[in-house]
Structure 1
Amino acid sequence: MSFIYSKLTSFINLINDEFHKSFLFTTIFSILAFIENQWVNSFFKGLYPSENFLGFLKKNNILKNHVFNPLIVLVVFAAFLVLSLSPISNSLTVTLIIAFLFFFIGATILPRFFLNDMKSVLTFKRKDIYSIGFCLILVSIAFFFISIASVGGIPILKPSIRYLLKPAFTMPVFLIIPGTCILASVYLKDYQDQLITRSQVRFRFLVLLVIDVGLLLTLGYRTPLLAALLLLIILGYYGDIIAVWEVVLGGLVGVGAIIGIGYFRSLHELTVSKAIDPFYTLKSRADFTLHVLNLLDIIGGNFGTTHGQLLASTIPGSELGPRMMVGKLIAWRTEVTVTPTLIGQMVADFGKVGVAVEMCLLGFVLGIGFKIVQKTKDYFYIGLYSLILTYTILGVETGILDIQVLFYFAVAIFIYFTIILKSIFN
């Protein structure tokens, strides 16, 4: 494994070095360095509220230390349930209680038995990590232009062509999310090592967010855009880069983006009129998604119906993607994609038993990641935890059903369990 990693990072470092030597990127980084210097020394920066702005928020222990505890997933899920316009069935209520209970066990109780005497974690070279993040962003930008060219227009300006975007072209664009996470975590390390100032690292986080917004908003995608915003907030929160009030503001901006983009798209697609309350689009989406979950709960029962087929359909080349398969399960329509919530796949594949096992495992992975972050404050593990927590939170509605997201979790599981084994045998 170390041999493969060594060869892979050597190749990626070579690509990174060649691009950084090119005239184009030398010019780009020179311009960004100039703008950064102007920003850090700008008079107007002093007009921005200080870290102690709305100081009463900072005095709250939960907001100061525990906002992004794994249990935030249950808080978000509960809020999602409240948004629904219709009541849920008794059977689904039982399933949800099982899901919440076993996630709580996995996230808060089981991690107490591991890594209590942890002396070290796996370490990665800064250059290797930076090169991986930089190359991921390069790939995403390249496929962004390919996606635009393939539909002959800009989806945000003409929402109807968004449905012409080809997954083979758009999926690589989403690599900008882990790329952003990796680069941001490297900048966090530079800040921790006192190589750059807090103002500089905040500026670089902002630049990364602007790039993400430019690409993802242009394509008309909402969830990846929220992922970029959320993971940078989590990274900044644990890296002491952003203040508590900025976390709260960022959360409000995220909710506003969900409502605003959804409402804007609905108007252009003529699914709502201007007379409709903008919050209605959010409530109706939650209501529809929970109706889907209710049907899947009926289909799945106690032991499931598809027995892993839904999860396996995430593999590229499958006849139907996972969300299309959900559409087939509940309505025999394979031409639409349907979001099944975080536990939709679990209950359809393995029933209530599957919900208990998978939610416990998911909680455990997040719980171990959170424990490592608390113990080490290491830049890499803050970034990794931010990434998987972000997709778990967003998965409350969409489910964790994208092959690249499952890969991120697979990497996290491999690294966390390696650390656990190393701790046990050492």
Structure 2
Amino acid sequence: MSVIYSSLTSIINKISDAIHESFLFTLIFTILGFIENQWVNSYFKRFYPGENFLNFLNRNVVLKEYLFHPLIVLLVFALFLILSLNSPSTSLAITLAIAFVSFFIGSTVLPKYFLNRNLEKIIYFDRKDFYSIGFCLLLVSIIFFFISVASVGGIPLLKPSIRYLLKPIFTMPVFLIIPGTCLIASAYLNDFQAEKITRSQARFRFLFLLAIDCAFLLLLGYRTPILAAFLIIIIIGFYGNIVSLWEVVLGALLGISAIIGIGYFRSLGEMTITSATSPIYTLQSRADFTLHVLNLLDFIGGNFGVTHGHMLVSSIPGSDLGPRMMVGKLIAWRTEVTVTPTLIGQMVVDFGKFGVLIGMCLLGFILGIGFKLMQKTKDFAYIGIYSIILTYTILGVETGILDIQVLIYFILAIFIYFTCIKRSISN
């Protein structure tokens, strides 16, 4: 496996170096370097609040150390349930209790027994590899953005109706901008940790990456990937001491506002609501519908499930039905619609309450090990890896972890984490 990784990263590094040395990108990075220099030395920077702004937040040890602990997933899940206009059924309440308890055990209890020694033997990644892979992913996503826009003959944000004409074969590569941003930001964090760049330079580069993500994803009319970009940048910046605690709070509010705003104006454009409707109603109705779907899935799944892994396997490209289309077929016999099943929807349909018990415990364990590795090593790579799997778990509270690219992120994280565990317990 190490030979494959070395060969692959060698090729990607050469591609990245060749692109950077081209005239176009030399010009682009020269301009960006000039703008960065102006930013760092700007007179107006002194008017921006410092780290001690809203200092009462910094006095809270729990917020400073455990703000993005895996248990934040349960908090978000609970808020999502509260947001719904209706209550879960008795059977679903039992399933949710199983999910919460098993996730707590997996994320908080089990990791205590692993990675307590021999941390010098775990995998450590090269900064250049992270940057080159991220840079190439970013370029691929931008190329496919223009292909997607050309294929529908317009910009979905300006013409919401054409968003449904977007082809997944073109839009899926666009979402590679998220892991690309994660890897590049992690590389910049390494530069900051090694004192190759200042905190101001790192902050500028983080903001620039976030601006690129928001620009391309917003034009396609997607909300969830924008929130993913916000979360990843915030988590990496927070644990890398690049972003202050008060900025995390502000960023969270901006992210939520962006979701509400984009959903509200898109609903107005599609004439599904009127201007007199509360902007938060779009979130409430969406949460209520998703909870109703989960109620039905819980009834269908029972204790041991009905599809026995077929829903998870349907995430593989080329399947007759995607996982969310399969949900539509199960609850309404309609295969032309996609329905979000929440974080536990796939687990309960595939393997019932028993599947929720095992699945949530395993998911919690992966996040718990990732959090422990990140805290113990302070390594840029493990901060980046944890940020991306935590981000997609939080977003999966509504959507589920069902997209093939997201599943690949988790598979890679699992492989890395279990390799680290194996190395740490070896003599």
Corresponding residue for 1:323?
324
Residue-pair matches, total: 426
What are the residue-to-residue correspondences of 1:7-406 with 2, within 5 Å? 7-120=7-120, 121-406=122-407
Query: Structure 2: how far apart are the matches of 1:266 and 1:138?
Result: 31
Q: Tell me the TM-score normalized by structure 2.
A: 0.99
SS in 2 for 1:278: coil
1:55 partner amino acid: N
Q: By how many angstroms is 1:17 displaced?
A: 1.0
SS in 2 for 1:59: coil
Query: Structure 2: how far apart are the matches of 1:372 and 1:119?
Result: 9
1:208-245 deviation digits (Å, cap 9, x = unpaired)? 00000110000001101100001100001100111110
Q: By how many angstroms is 1:54 displaced?
A: 0.6
1:152-198 deviation digits (Å, cap 9, x = unpaired)? 00000000000000000000000000000000000000000000000
For the 8 Å contact 2:133–2:180, the answer to whether it is kept is yes
Query: Structure 1: how far apart are the matches of 2:365 and 2:87?
Result: 30
Q: By how many angstroms is 1:258 displaced?
A: 1.4
Corresponding residue for 2:417?
416
Query: Structure 1: how far apart are the matches of 2:382 and 2:298?
Result: 35
Which ranges of structure 2 fall in alignment gaps of 5 or more residues?
none
Query: Structure 1: how far apart are the matches of 2:44 and 2:63?
Result: 28
2:65 partner amino acid: N
For the 8 Å contact 2:123–2:420, the answer to whether it is kept is yes
Q: By how many angstroms is 1:3 displaced?
A: 1.3
For the 8 Å contact 2:147–2:170, the answer to whether it is kept is yes
Query: Structure 1: how far apart are the matches of 2:333 and 2:28?
Result: 51
2:349 partner amino acid: A
Query: Structure 2: how far apart are the matches of 1:323 and 1:22?
Result: 43
1:86 partner amino acid: N
Q: By how many angstroms is 1:87 displaced?
A: 1.2
Q: By how many angstroms is 1:119 displaced?
A: 2.5
Q: By how many angstroms is 1:118 displaced?
A: 3.3
Query: Structure 1: how far apart are the matches of 2:227 and 2:65?
Result: 22
For the 8 Å contact 2:117–2:425, the answer to whether it is kept is no
Query: Structure 2: how far apart are the matches of 1:69 and 1:157?
Result: 38
2:229 partner amino acid: A
Which ranges of structure 1 fall in alignment gaps of 5 or more residues?
none
CA RMSD of superposed structures (Å)? 0.6
2:162 partner amino acid: I
Q: By how many angstroms is 1:80 displaced?
A: 0.2
1:323 partner amino acid: R
SS in 2 for 1:150: helix
Which deviates the most, 112-121 or 157-166? 112-121
Query: Structure 1: how far apart are the matches of 2:96 and 2:244?
Result: 34
Deviation above 6 Å: which 4+ runs of structure 1?
A: none
Query: Structure 2: how far apart are the matches of 1:384 and 1:141?
Result: 22
Q: By how many angstroms is 1:61 displaced?
A: 1.5
Query: Structure 2: how far apart are the matches of 1:65 and 1:257?
Result: 27
Q: Percent same amino acid among aligned pairs?
A: 72
Query: Structure 2: how far apart are the matches of 1:151 and 1:217?
Result: 16
